[in-house]
Amino acid sequence: MHIGTTLVVDTFAEAFRLRFARLLVTAHDDHWLDAAIRAACGYGTSVIGCDAEVGVERRIDENDTPDGRPGAALLLFAFSAEALAKAVANRTSQCLLTCPTTAVYDGLPSESERVSLGGHVRFFGDGREKTKVIEGRRYWRIPVMDGEFLVEETAGVAKGIGGGNIIVQGRSLEAALDAARRAVVAIEPVPGTITPFPGGVVRSGSKVGSIYESLRASTNEAFCPSLVGRDPTSLHADATACLEIVIDGSTEQAVATAMAAGIRAASGDDVPAISAGNYGGALGKFHFHLHQILASA
């Protein structure tokens, strides 16, 4: 299958089950909202080494937020509800409580599985915190130097998917960078998805395992141009650089839609091939076959 001159390799991306939470963060203006987003999403690229994979799902207009201020929906993904609970509590207390003017609301109120959101953070009030239940949802008001930090007591947890991916192969590094950026921009509007790596892109695509027993993952040598001729390669003959875009999503459909959008946007004369990373089906039960998702899209 080709899109223009770009070969879409007949392969699949292998993804796996994660749990996720959605936090709605608001602030006084875009400056402070951006500051909160940068802090809360920091060091949130891969659950191989981070407590959660974190990113902005979408910006929310002030007319659609609970308090009439600029807002954003953040998605946090982790292997289990227990791991997610720790990440939510830590990032709320260290990154959102500390940022001037912010408030934090649960973005999955209908989910029955819950983790603490403000339930732990409230203790920062040192007995001076106040609580109120509105339409069955409990909120905490914690006194801070610029007024109060408003935070919902709990956050819903839902089943999500991590590890959807595409690998963009460029004729040059510049071509791969440009194509990857086009793909990330195309994926951004897809509801229920994030691309958690820096700029939405990962240069250090990995495989499961390593010759070093202490490592859970290591470089995917089949996509490293410097190893062509030394190790078996999965690179197109005309490719000199490639970049991977990893997608986490709330549903299979969300991930498939995002992957299809990314593939179409990345295709071009300077991109001889687009492929995906998998481990023969040994890592996860969700297999996104590139030709199938493009046909469905």
Please check whether residues 111 and 186 belong to one and the same domain: no
Predicted TM-score of the model (pTM): 0.95
Could you say which of 158, 191, 226 is where a domain stops?
Answer: 158
Task: Say yes or no: 150 and 41 in one domain.
Answer: yes
User: Is residue 85 located within the same domain as residue 182?
Assistant: no
Q: In a 10 Å sphere around its CB, with 0-12 CB exposed, 13-18 middle and 19+ buried, how is residue 109 labelled? A: middle
Q: Residue 112 is part of which domain span?
A: 19-158
| In contact, 8 and 272? CB cutoff 8 Å | no
Q: Hey, which residues does 106 pair with through a beta bridge?
A: 23
Domain termination residue (choose one: 107, 139, 158): 158
d(CA 63, CA 68): 6
My answer on whether 215 and 242 are in the same domain is yes
Contacts of 167 (CB under 8 A, 6+ apart): 205, 223, 242, 243, 244, 245, 274, 275, 276, 277
Q: Decide which of 123, 158, 193 is a domain's last residue.
A: 158
Give SS3 for 12: strand
**Dist CA 118 CA 108 (whole Å):** 15
Cβ-contact 263, 296 below 8 angstroms: no
Identify whether residues 273 and 205 lie together within a single domain.
yes
| Residues in CB range of 158: below 8 A, 6 or more apart | 19, 20, 21, 108, 111, 113, 250
Q: What is the pLDDT along the chain (297 residues), one digit of tens a residue?
A: 999 999 999 999 999 999 999 999 999 999 999 999 999 999 999 999 999 999 999 999 999 999 999 999 999 999 999 999 999 999 999 999 999 999 999 999 999 999 999 999 999 999 999 999 999 999 999 999 999 999 999 999 999 999 999 999 999 999 999 999 999 999 999 999 999 999 999 999 998 889 998 888 899 999 999 999 999 999 999 999 999 999 999 999 999 999 999 999 999 999 999 999 998 887 889 999 999 999 997
Q: Are residues 97 and 206 in the same domain?
A: no
- Domain shared by 50 and 117, yes or no: yes
Q: Where residue 214 sits, what CATH number does that domain have?
A: 3.30.70.520
If one counts the domains in the chain, the total is 2
Cβ(57)–Cβ(71) under 8 Å?
Answer: no
CA dist., res. 77 & res. 18, Å (int): 6
Same domain, 169 and 286: yes
Q: Where are the alpha helices (DSSP H) in the chain?
A: 30-41, 81-91, 173-187, 252-266, 290-296
Same domain? For 168 and 135 the reply is no
Residues 223, 110 share a domain: no
| 39 & 140 share domain | yes
Show the tokens assigned to 117.
Answer: 């959101």
